[in-house]
């Protein structure tokens, strides 16, 4: 359940294949091997079930002619799928340069690179320079960010219409699994930690930012998808 917004020491802003440095990030990044494995799986099987559920919920709201901000977008599954069904342009923010490289490889493969802007770094640090979008997505990101409330607040500020998330379900089984994951991360000397963020706590933060939860879907034993609309 550990997902993106781990980072590397340096950041880059990439648009149309050109990179520009951004501020340094304190986190370590996923490596090329992990990103390559996820990209191979995506090409073979498509989006993961929880990502597919998020995509379907967003499409039900209407995405034609909209813009997307995908935070912790990894290999870019959300970007590629939504650009294929009507989203005009996307901004991808990820703290892992390996994930961004994999996302660019896939967008080049589909001829989409000219419609995606890539930002390398911690979104919370980059937020003042990130343009708003009609749709903001965070797929398994809030649960691994050290200050999820700040991330939720800053990312909601950038959402003009819809805000979509995937988070772990708040159940004894999921909490037990996350405890095991955190133990493994500690033994590997990784600084990132996973957590269960209660959906009602997210509701309160987003309501303060002008959003109301419109739908919520459980995906398997571990994941919950939620869509928020700006009020």
pLDDT for position 10? 34
DSSP string, 139-177: ES-GGGSTTHHHHHHHHHHTEEEEEEEEEE--SHHHHHH
| Percent of the chain scoring above 70 in pLDDT | 87
3 neighbors 144 (Cβ within 8 angstroms):
yes
Mean pLDDT estimate for the chain? 88
72 neighbors 51 (Cβ within 8 angstroms):
no
**6 occurs within a structural domain:** no
pLDDT for position 30? 61
- Find the CATH number of the domain harbouring 190: 3.40.50.150
**157 occurs within a structural domain:** yes
What is the Cα–Cα distance from 193 to 191, expressed in whole angstroms?
7
Q: Tell me: the pLDDT tens digits for 169-220?
A: 999 999 999 999 999 988 988 788 899 999 999 999 999 999 999 999 999 9
Q: What is the pTM of this model?
A: 0.87
**19 occurs within a structural domain:** yes
**168 occurs within a structural domain:** yes
**85 occurs within a structural domain:** yes
Lowest mean pLDDT among 14-18, 98-102, 133-137, 178-182: 14-18
| Percent of the chain scoring above 90 in pLDDT | 81
Q: Which domain holds residue 73?
A: 11-230
Q: Which residue has the higher pLDDT, 113 or 180?
A: 180
Query: What residues have CB less than 8 Å from 202, skipping those under 6 apart?
Result: 142, 152, 165, 167, 226
Statement: residue 5 has pLDDT above 90:
no
How many domains does the chain contain in total? 1
């Amino acid at each position: 359940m550990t997902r993106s917004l781990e980072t590397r020491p340096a950041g880059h802003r990439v648009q149309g294949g050109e990179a520009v440095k951004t501020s340094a990030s304190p986190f370590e990044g996923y490596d090329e091997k992990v990103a390559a494995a996820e990209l191979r799986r995506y090409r073979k099987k498509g989006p993961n079930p929880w990502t597919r559920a998020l995509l379907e919920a967003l499409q039900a709201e209407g995405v034609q002619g909209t813009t997307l901000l995908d935070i912790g977008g990894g290999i870019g599954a959300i970007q590629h799928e939504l650009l294929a069904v009507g989203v005009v342009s996307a901004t991808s923010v990820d703290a892992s340069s390996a994930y961004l490289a994999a996302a660019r490889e896939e967008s080049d493969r589909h001829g989409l690179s000219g419609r995606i802007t890539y930002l390398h770094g911690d979104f919370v640090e980059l937020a003042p320079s990130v343009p708003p979008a009609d749709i903001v997505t965070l797929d398994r990101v809030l649960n691994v960010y050290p200050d999820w409330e700040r991330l939720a607040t800053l990312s909601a500020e950038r959402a003009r219409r819809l805000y979509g998330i995937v988070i772990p379900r708040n159940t004894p089984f999921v909490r037990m699994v996350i405890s095991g994951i955190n133990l493994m991360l500690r033994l590997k000397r990784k600084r990132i930690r996973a957590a269960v963020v209660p959906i009602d706590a997210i509701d309160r933060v987003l309501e303060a930012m002008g959003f109301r939860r419109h739908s919520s879907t459980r995906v398997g034993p571990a994941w919950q998808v939620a869509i928020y609309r700006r009020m």
